[in-house]
Chains A and B, each alone.
Chain A
């Protein structure tokens, strides 16, 4: 007799083995269905977002408050030193800024002369707060408290402190998931600001302990790229807007093939102490095929 047949007066139960099979099949089907498409994203993201996000917001604020208090105590002395250093830096930067403003004035004049639209000047931005982090320990992704209701959409670029944080990889009505550029599964098309040499910047879990990420496929046949060069997102990327600062070249090595170079980049963003980010709501223009 089959074990699933209902006997008289007994509650209907499924044996463990069958349940395991059902759940496995369900998972596998779900994986196949969601591999290329996002059929379930909308309803699931909406439904679960309504339940989970408000709690995450509250808890995250409480947790942040606690960890801030404990950090503050440790850091007061450090901050005093830093403050003095930063004051000097502010003075230097103010001077530099005036110079740059002059340049900008000139640039605007010249642009007007050339009748160029302001291409990368000002992007529309929305501020958002990080409320949760991927607990998986393998990839670096986090949840922010704004979603499609606030006008966010997939592939929007996320910045903080003047540097690129990552891009939105999925959204619900009141939350979005941001995959960071330091995540092991992230690749960004980038270029050097000065010379426009293209490269691919990849997150690397292994190098993250040293606070750097890797880059490769840099051609640089004229050997002009040097350590300390500014790296920005390239203009040929189809997901990232051009000229957003990624970081600075930390080390640079010639590959074994003698054609390309690779090395490490120090990201401009302090990913460990990130709590607020800006989402650029302009999307990169994509050519429909």
Chain B
């Protein structure tokens, strides 16, 4: 229960930061995708299901406030959460390389999927331009934020897991 409340609060907070705070600190009009960091890190820390559900709700928030149709970003982020969840088997909390790599790849693939669905299908063919102008800067800015944000998420998750373990032992 506590986990649900805290995770809901984190989803809410990262959406707020993304939309209301980081636009004041946008570099070249680019805002880091905090919701991807959150989705992807819960994916590889907790497994497919947590990743998927968190991704779904993160995407759904953007859909309601900024999407043309409901479910578009929700679907993309659900899959990001699911695929990241596949890596929970080889995830160790001490290792920072895998999380960073996964988050970058997630953000890049999010960018490419958005480009294909939002731009390529409308006849904007200059992939390289959009890749250089939007996708790569977004990924770079996202890594930068990840370096500070990921340890926080990891710590919160560890604390929650500890608590869950303790309350499970009580019943033995």
Contact = CB atoms under 8 A, between A and B. Distances in A.
B75 A27 contact: yes
Contacts of B85: 16
Interface string A125-168: 00000011111111101010000000000000000000000000
Interface stretch (B64-72, B90-98, B154-162): B64-72
Interface in B66-94: 66, 68-75, 78-79, 82, 85
A48 B64 contact: yes
Contacts of A14: 49
Contacts of B138: 137
A206 B22 contact: no
A75 to B, nearest CB: 15
Contacts of B6: none
B166 to A, nearest CB: 19
Contact of A66 (B24, B118, B122): B24
A42 to B, nearest CB: 11
A59 B22 contact: no
A66 B62 CA distance: 25
A51 B17 CA distance: 15
A27 B78 contact: yes
B124 A23 contact: no
B24 A23 contact: no
Contacts of B56: 23, 27
Interface in B107-155: 114-115, 118-119, 122, 124, 126, 129-130, 133-134, 138
A55 B11 CA distance: 13
A12 interface: no
A243 interface: no
A31 B70 contact: yes
A128 to B, nearest CB: 15
Given A138-B119, A141-B66, A132 B71 contact: no
Nearest to B85: A16
A184 interface: yes
A206 B52 contact: no
Contact of B25 (A20, A67, A131, A141): A67
Nearest to B51: A16
A135 B130 contact: no
A131 B56 CA distance: 24
B156 to A, nearest CB: 20
Given A67-B24, A135-B62, 8 more contacts: A29-B71, A51-B12, A55-B16, A59-B21, A63-B24, A64-B24, A177-B65, A209-B133
Interface of B: 12, 15-26, 29-31, 33-35, 47-49, 52-53, 56, 61-62, 64-66, 68-75, 78-79, 82, 85, 114-115, 118-119, 122, 124, 126, 129-130, 133-134, 138
21 contacts: A16-B82, A19-B52, A23-B52, A27-B78, A33-B70, A34-B69, A44-B70, A48-B61, A63-B24, A63-B25, A132-B19, A132-B23, A132-B65, A133-B19, A133-B20, A134-B65, A134-B66, A135-B31, A136-B62, A138-B114, A272-B29
